[in-house]
Amino acid sequence: MAVPGPVLSFDRAFDPQTGVPVSVAEGIARITAPNASAYTFTGTNSFLLGHERLALVDPGPDDVNHIAALKRAIAGRPVGAIILSHTHRDHSAAAARLSRELDAPLWFGGPHRLSRPLRRFERNPIRKSCDWDLVPDRTLLDGESIAAGDLPVTVHTTPGHCSNHLAFSVGDTLLSGDHVMGWNSTLVSAPDGSMADYFASLDKVIALPQRQYVPAHGGPIADGQAYATALRAHRQMRNRQVLEAVAAGARSISSIVARIYPRQALPVRFAAAMTINAHVEYLERLGKLSVKRGLLGMRISAA
């Protein structure tokens, strides 16, 4: 008899206290930006790391009120670096401006890049959400230790949501960016992201010793390892649902989405279509699906 996997339960009971510094761990303060949406939940969480000397993680949108809130929380203390979990604009749009104004270098995982080259006639559906022109003063590497303000931080490459995504361990806390969030599952939109990379990065963070995860949207996750394990099981369930939908006759992304998400609102279905496309690519890579692509779209069948 099969043993049921862990159950994924989203936590949307979160008060962001927008614009107000909130301590989430020793030496880590969260300031949530006023950019709430269907994709950002209550807004992007920016973080100040340190005590007397700071690092700013994910400065967020180029919003006058949010920038003012960050500067109030910084309170004149020196900022040694502005660090990005990744270069989607809800995290990075204010980075260049604040780098100049705070005289702080930009550190992140390299310029924005796709997880694979574009195919003929293909477009990146989230291309306008990506910060293509931002270049780091320092490219952060997997496993390296950095001094973020006056705190030691370890860098972990976690591609999947996008190719240059990073997570950061600070003591017993993991800043998980958009890789693991408690309010919802993460958007993986190929070719910007990759489901194969996402699964590998989930395994990577589960193996880390940090238990509390603090994501870039929503509230802290008390047992991050257990939650990430449930998230992995959820993604594996989606793989099975995709295969079942194709076996039942679905031949396109839209028809698979209609079977799996029959009653969801249009914005949810649009995001679901991007992630289901990433699942299809993943299953094709495993040899479980066959995909024919052309000017009129793709036709999906069992391998």
Phi/psi of residue 247, nearest 5 degrees? -60, -30
Is pLDDT at 131 greater than 70 in this prediction? yes
Residue 217 shares a structural domain with residue 102 = yes
Look at the block and give the residue holding tokens 């989930």. 202
Is pLDDT at 20 greater than 70 in this prediction? yes
Nearest C-alpha neighbor of 142 from the set 172, 161, 116, 165: 165
Residue 94 shares a structural domain with residue 125 = yes
pLDDT, position 188 = 97
* Phi and psi based region of residue 226 (left: phi greater than 0; alpha: psi -120 to 50; beta: remaining): alpha
Do residues 195 and 279 lie in contact, with contact meaning Cβ atoms separated by under 8 Å? yes
Residue 41 shares a structural domain with residue 138 = yes
> Across-strand partners of 169?
154, 174
Residue 168 shares a structural domain with residue 253 = no
Instruction: Give the residue ranges of DSSP H helices in 5-83.
Output: 64-74
Residue 192 shares a structural domain with residue 241 = no
Of 234, 250, 285, which closes a domain? 234
E-strand stretches of 100-226 = 106-108, 138-139, 145-148, 151-157, 166-170, 173-177, 212-215
Residue 229 shares a structural domain with residue 250 = no
Residue 136 shares a structural domain with residue 259 = no
Q: What is the pTM of this model?
A: 0.94
pLDDT, position 263 = 81
Helices 253-260 and 266-285: crossing angle in degrees, nearest 10, is 120
- Going by the DSSP 8-state scheme, the letter that residue 4 receives in this structure is P
CATH for 260: 1.10.10.10
d(C-alpha 1, C-alpha 208), whole Å: 31
Of 174, 207, 234, which closes a domain? 234
pLDDT-derived band at 1 (thresholds 50, 70, 90) equals very low
Distance from chain centroid for Cα 219:
14
Of 184, 214, 234, which closes a domain? 234
Longest pairwise C-alpha distance within the chain:
62
> Across-strand partners of 108?
139
pLDDT-derived band at 180 (thresholds 50, 70, 90) equals very high
Residue 253 shares a structural domain with residue 192 = no
Domain count, the chain: 2
d(C-alpha 156, C-alpha 172), whole Å: 14
Domain span at residue 161 reads 22-234
CATH for 45: 3.60.15.10
Do residues 282 and 293 lie in contact, with contact meaning Cβ atoms separated by under 8 Å? no
Look at the block and give the residue holding tokens 């793989």. 239
Average pLDDT over residues 21-42: 96
The tens digit of pLDDT for each residue in 54-106 reads 999 999 999 999 999 999 999 999 999 999 999 999 999 999 999 999 999 99
Mean predicted lDDT score pLDDT of the chain: 95
pLDDT-derived band at 281 (thresholds 50, 70, 90) equals very high
Q: Containing H/E element for 8?
A: none
The tens digit of pLDDT for each residue in 142-161 reads 999 999 899 999 999 999 99
